[in-house]
Chain A
């Protein structure tokens, strides 16, 4: 499996190495780990847009390599850190594409294997699962601060023109630009999706 290959290649970061990576990403401004989370999200999205099936692993592999460089050289001259992240990520991507070509025959053979009858999920089970997920989402929404919750609901209501008008008036009310509002809404939505994923795993 490609993932196993990746994990073998890049051992996990030590706590010390991880903190050094966080400090390098923050570039002198302590973000409390937010810069790392945001950069990881961007890397995962990048690998995913490039249709890599293990985007999370590739993002971690990118950080591992940067961390190794930091360990060996003590510092990285390329500024800002995000640019260096992209440079490394591009290499990781190209290597993964090359590696997948090597593994493609094995993967294709595995994919071609008959899977046998898929377990049938009863309608009630599906409904129950859906219900649980919606409950999880409600729980996640309730974990937000009231103003964040209100923002998310207002921002994502309606469609097309109504949605734009609503956002415009919301930005005016909050005294911020539409883009700043978009950034806030995106962060909230991403956080909600992460919360929902975590919640569903525990259900």
Chain B
């Protein structure tokens, strides 16, 4: 079989799309039937156009008419449905393989109601004053910080492991992916610990106003340990301005936590949209919510996708049958510095 010829025109492209969607007159469809088997050029173009069509459906970038036709015609065949399923997995793997490494370099401009960041607060470094033999709030805080330090060590080990794996090159890509996931998990745990620490501190301040944490528990440690995450809350009519999130120029990715009003679905998928054009700028893998109360969906978005403008996350819950239902929209504004 010969190699195909040069570039495909817009018209040919449209014709192949119509052929795949069963929109061509019978005579023309038969001509393409024959060409798709006999002509290497057409066969190759058709293969390419079909893959792109399926990908566009999976990425939800088809216009409504094409999407409707895709669903009523293309998806009627089990074999073609398999192609769509494969595309979902394949694009997830491609996203994962092409995602840049995660670096916790996000800073929010303000702590609004819908955006909370979790770097540890700067501490005054006040001297310790042990008020009683069993100071439970302080002990709780200490335990939290010890845990945080443990996670810090774990985090650092994971980073080192991650760097080593990267150096090993392509053959170890899979391991890098696994380590990245663990790192994300560790960061999530850090966030929880930082929250617990804050709560414990608040409790300690209420009960023992004179007591300060010991130097070993100083917040500088926690600052390193806790990875900053941006928590977004679902948009409601009462909420006005979108929270402003400042992303450092050197940041490679940004960790977002989308808070769920209720965790009703086994899996979720989010898309980041430019609300002006409705263009999808990024799509997450299919993920599970963090089973906490309240529940969150954690997302790591490559920083190079974030320009200084307004965005919105659209979060969809995926039920057992694979159907997606939008569960919330999360508006935000990005600032780059």
Contacts and interface: CB of A to CB of B under 8 A. Distances in A.
Interface of A: 31, 35, 38-39, 42-46, 48-51, 53, 55, 80, 82-83, 85-86, 89-90, 121, 123, 126-127, 130, 133-134, 137-138, 141-142, 146, 149-150, 152-154, 156-157, 159-160, 163, 177-180, 182-183, 185-186, 189-190, 192-193, 196
Contacts of A51: 76-77
Nearest to B60: A159
B6 A177 contact: yes
Contact of B36 (A46, A138, A163): A46
A179 B89 contact: no
A43 B43 CA distance: 11
A46 B320 contact: no
A43 B280 contact: no
A26 B215 CA distance: 78
A180 B79 contact: no
Nearest to A146: B170
Contacts of A190: 47
Contacts of B36: 42, 45-46
Contact of B59 (A126, A159, A178, A180): A159
A179 B47 contact: no
A76 to B, nearest CB: 14
B41 to A, nearest CB: 8
Contact of A196 (B37, B89, B177): B89
Contacts, number: 131
Given A149-B170, A159-B56, A182-B45, A46 B97 contact: no
B44 A182 contact: yes
B5 interface: yes
Contacts of A185: 48, 51
Contact of B93 (A46, A82, A89, A138): A138
A138 B177 CA distance: 10
B150 interface: no
Interface in B47-66: 47-48, 51-52, 55-56, 59, 61
28 contacts: A31-B1, A46-B33, A55-B79, A89-B37, A90-B33, A123-B320, A127-B267, A133-B89, A137-B90, A138-B174, A141-B93, A141-B97, A146-B169, A146-B171, A156-B51, A156-B55, A159-B280, A163-B52, A177-B7, A179-B6, A179-B8, A179-B48, A180-B3, A182-B4, A182-B47, A183-B4, A186-B48, A193-B86
Contacts of B37: 39, 42-43, 46, 82, 85-86, 89
B240 to A, nearest CB: 31
Contact of B44 (A48, A142, A179): A179
B78 to A, nearest CB: 8
Given A44-B79, A157-B95, A196-B86, 12 more contacts: A35-B1, A82-B1, A85-B38, A90-B33, A134-B93, A146-B169, A153-B94, A179-B5, A179-B6, A179-B8, A183-B48, A196-B89
B11 to A, nearest CB: 16
A186 B89 contact: no
A133 B85 CA distance: 11
B266 interface: yes
B20 interface: yes
B28 interface: no
Nearest to A121: B320
A158 to B, nearest CB: 9
A159 B320 contact: no
Contacts of A123: 266, 320
Contact of B33 (A49, A80, A196): A49
Contacts of A53: 78
A150 to B, nearest CB: 7
A149 B1 CA distance: 24
What are the 3 closest A-B residue pairs judged by CB atoms, nearest first?
A182-B48, A186-B47, A86-B37
A183 B80 CA distance: 20
B196 to A, nearest CB: 28
A177 to B, nearest CB: 6
A183 B44 contact: yes
Nearest to A193: B86
B93 A126 contact: no
B97 A86 contact: no
B92 interface: yes
B288 interface: yes
B98 interface: yes
Contacts of A38: 1, 43
B1 A126 contact: no
Contacts of B52: 163
B1 to A, nearest CB: 6
